Amino acid sequence: MTGPSLVLFDVDGTLITSGGAGARSWRYAFDRLHGIPADIGSHSEAGETDPVVARKTFEGAIGREPTELELAAIYALYLRRLSDEVATSEGYRVLAGAEERLERLSDAGIMLGLVSGAMEGAARVKLGRAGLNRFFLFGGYGTDSPDRARLTTIAIERASMLHHHTLDPSHVYVVGDTPNDVAAAKAAGAIAVAVATGSHSVEELASTGADHVLATLADPFPDSA
């Protein structure tokens, strides 16, 4: 087999940018609940899962571990605010070549899924404004595991269920814009396709050991339509 049987896409920085809607929503939740407009960028890094971001930000801004109830309240308020922030974000946009690439892969009969550190609801909200949810049957999310490698494996397992046989991870492409995406793909035994539409350059992504590096999703996609 020369091409992928499954392609899994990250969301933020790969398919869309929310124009800071996520960061504003976290800040809003922390401010409303704890009186601290916390900046997630000061406490976390790109590619980390939402549960990790929330916990690190809580510990960094408030100085102690959150309780289960405190985390649940932050998650809920963040997601509710995110819907409004995404809908009104002036910086929201679909990244170069994303929709066209999804259409071509889908038309070629290649199954598409998501691998996102975002909670499932947040990932779907972010894609909803651009109408991109229609391409994805399933995914692995930050709500499945705080570890990106594990949620990538979970996404492959879900695809295997839909295919009615176990998929070989070496025939799965994982597309993302950060070194964490590349590392997760490698740890899951998949092919890492890095795209420089986020905060990392082609050169930086090439240094991570990605199997393929694209400037944008408009570039020729490896071994496929």
Distance CA 107, CA 143 (A): 30
CA pair distance 122, 12, nearest whole angstrom: 11
Q: What is the pLDDT of residues 96-124, one digit of tens each?
A: 999 999 999 999 999 999 999 999 999 99
- pTM for the model stands at 0.92
68 CB neighbour count, 10 Å cutoff: 7
Residue 64 per-residue DSSP state: S
Distance CA 214, CA 2 (A): 19
What contacts 27, CB < 8 A, 6 or more positions away?
37, 38, 39, 40
SS3 category, 163: helix
The mean pLDDT value of the chain amounts to 93
CB contact set of 48 (below 8 Å; sequence gap of 6+)? 56, 117, 148, 180
Q: Which of the 8 DSSP states describes residue 187?
A: H
HSE value, Cβ hemisphere, 13 Å, CA-based, for 217 = 26
Q: Is the pLDDT of residue 1 over 50?
A: no
Quick one: 120 exposed, middle or buried, by C-beta within 10 A (0-12, 13-18, 19+)?
middle
What is the model's pLDDT at position 37? Answer: 84
Burial 167-200 (b: 16+ CB within 10 A, else e): bebebbbbbbbbbbbbbbbbbbebbbbbbbbbeb
Report how far residue 172's alpha carbon sits from residue 185's, in angstroms, rounded to the nearest whole number.
9
Closest CA to 10 of 116, 132, 122: 116
Which amino acid is residue 58, in one-letter code? F
Tell me phi and psi for residue 219, to 5 degrees: -65, 155
**153-177 residue pLDDT tens:** 999 999 999 989 999 999 999 999 9
DSSP 49: -
pLDDT band at 46 (very low <50, low <70, confident <90, very high): low
Residues in the chain: 225
Q: What is the pLDDT of residue 43?
A: 67
